[in-house]
Structure 1
Amino acid sequence: MIRIENIHKSFDGKPVLRGISGTFEKGEPNLIIGSSGTGKSVLLKCIVGLIEPDEGHVYFDDKEFTNSNRDTKTEIRRQIGMLFQGGALFDSKTVEQNVMFPLDVLTKMPKAEKLDRVNFCLERVGLAGQNHKMPSEISGGMKKRVGIARAIVNNSSYLFCDEPNSGLDPQTSILIDELILEITEEYNITTIVVTHDMNSVLGIGDKIMFLYKGEKLWEGNKNEIMTSGIKEFDDFVFANKVMRKLREI
């Protein structure tokens, strides 16, 4: 579980996050949604410690992270897996080397043990036998799956996904969503997904936080979307043609 309390962040005097609080539960995907520029990615970076919030606190399973000492932060960061928007693979490394990278940096595991773990994770994301391919030789969807394998290779307790379906076709996006859901449930990890893809929201939105101009305006699940009663949220949701048709049914 991850808990955030009263997170504020400004840049050059302009508020980007205005007192965001919430809880992200284990074993189910937690989605942060909203239009571009609403603070979704900034909030994610505050949670993982890439950006220091001006005010507020972040707790990982009741361990205070924001103002903790270096050792505590390092311990928590070892348990974090990240799936970046573009995949963020190393172009000069093979699939195997990309997935193994966190083990090289964070552990003293023997090489044979690392390879066993890499092969297990590649098989789990449907990429068994793709070890020696370069990123330039695989599709966008495969790159995202490599990114997921790398994110979980260190037995992560927390998985963060920043726009995991960006640049993917609808069919591949569904496969990535299903994989994120399966891994979250199977390993009982705390997963936070930043997205503006309504297909993802309807598919895996067990818990959803909606940001608008740096504030949390709505929180609920995919079954409660149609009855939010909040204009700004409705405008965001029903900007999608498919969603408008569903509303009319």
Structure 2
Amino acid sequence: MIEIHNIHKSFGDKKVLDGISGVFETGKTNLLLGASGTGKSVLLKCIVGLIKPDIGSVTFDGTYFTNNKLDIRQEIRRKIGMLFQSSALFDSMSVEQNVEFPLKMLSDMPKDERMDRVNFCLQRVGLENSNKKMPSELSGGMKKRVGIARAIAPNCTYLFCDEPNSGLDPLTAIKIDELIAEITAEYGITTIVVTHDMNSVIEIGEKIMFLYEGKKIWEGTRDDILDTDVRELNDFIFANRLMRDAKKIEEEEEEAEQNSQNKE
């Protein structure tokens, strides 16, 4: 579990995060949702320690992280896996070498154990026998899978995904969403996904925090997001015609059910 407490962050005169607090639960896909420029990625960077908040704190499973001793912060960082928006694979390294990289940096595993772990992670993301391929030989979806394999290779406790569906076709995006959700549940990871994709919300939004102009203005699940009365959230959700149609169908079904009950 990750807890954030009253996070504030400004860059010069621009207030980016304005007093955000919340809890990200273990074993669930926790989504940071909002339009571009609402502070989602900045909040993520504050949580993992890439940016220091002006005010506020972060705890990982009860351990204070912000401004704690360097050795404690480093211990927590070793438990963090990161899936970057662009996958951020090393172009000069093979798939195998990319996945092995954090194991070489963060562990004392001998070579044979590292290879066993690499092969296991590649198999888990459906890329067995792809060890020797180079990033230039991979599709966008395959690169994301390699990124996930690399993120979970050190047996991470916390998984952070920044716009994991960026640049992917809808079918591949759904598969990546499903893979992230499966791994989260299977290994009991605390996963935080930054997204503005409503497909991801519907597919894997077990817990959702909606940001607007640097503030948290709504929190809930995919089951109740369509029934909110928060204007800013509704404007965001129903900007998509498909979502407007889905809402209309839901309302028509509820009305038909109500009429049927009244007749009885």
> Which residue identity is paired with 1:224?
D
Q: Which residue of 2 aligns with 1:206?
A: 206
Equivalent residue, structure 2, for 1:136: 136
Give the deviation of 1:172 after TM superposition: 0.1
TM-score (norm 2): 0.94
Q: Where does structure 1 lack aligned partners over 5 or more consecutive residues?
A: none
Partner residue in 2 for 1:217: 217
Alpha-carbon separation, structure 2, partners of 1:155 and 1:105: 14
After the TM superposition, which residues 86-125 of structure 1 pair with which residues of structure 2 at under 5 Å, given as runs?
86-125=86-125
1:223 aligned counterpart, secondary structure? coil
Name the counterpart of 1:25. Answer: 25
Q: Please tell me whether Structure 1 or Structure 2 has the larger radius of gyration of its CA atoms.
A: 2
> What is the CA distance between 1:226 and its match in structure 2?
1.5
Cα shift at 1:63 = 0.3
Moved over 3 A (4+): none
Task: Give the whole-Å Cα distance in 2 for the aligned partners of 1:13 and 1:62.
Answer: 33
How far apart, in 2, do the equivalents of 1:51 and 1:157 lie?
20
Segments of 5+ residues of structure 2 without an aligned counterpart are 250-264
Summarize deviations over 1:101-153 as a string: whole Å, max 9, x none: 00011111100000000000000000000000000001000000000000000
Superposition map of 1:8-87 within 5 A? 8-87=8-87
How far the C-alpha of 1:201 sits from its partner, in A, is 0.3
Give secondary structure in 2 for the equivalent of 1:7.
Answer: strand
Q: Report SS of the residue matched to 2:129.
A: coil
Q: TM-score, normalised by structure 1?
A: 1.00
Alignment RMSD, CA only? Answer: 0.4
* 2:193 aligned partner: 193
In the TM superposition, what is the alpha-carbon distance from 1:198 to its structure 2 partner? Answer: 0.3
Residue 24 of structure 1 and its aligned partner are, at CA, apart by: 0.2
Mapped partners of 2:196, 2:92: distance in 1: 31
1:227 CA displacement: 1.5
Alignment deviations for residues 168-200 of structure 1 (CA, whole Å, 9 cap, x no partner): 000000000000000000000000000000000
Alpha-carbon offset, residue 58 of structure 1: 0.2
- Cα drift, residue 228 of structure 1: 1.1
Letter in 2 for 1:181: A
Aligned-partner SS, 1:91: coil
- What amino acid is the match of 1:248? K
What is residue 262 of structure 2 aligned with on the other side? none
- SS of residue paired to 1:194: strand
1:7 aligns with 7
Secondary structure at the counterpart of residue 37 of structure 1? coil
Give the letter for the 1:84 counterpart.
Answer: F
Percent of matched pairs sharing the same residue? 68
What amino acid maps onto 2:205 in structure 1? G
3-state DSSP of counterpart to 1:116: helix
Mapped to 2, the partners of 1:40 and 1:228 lie a distance apart of 20
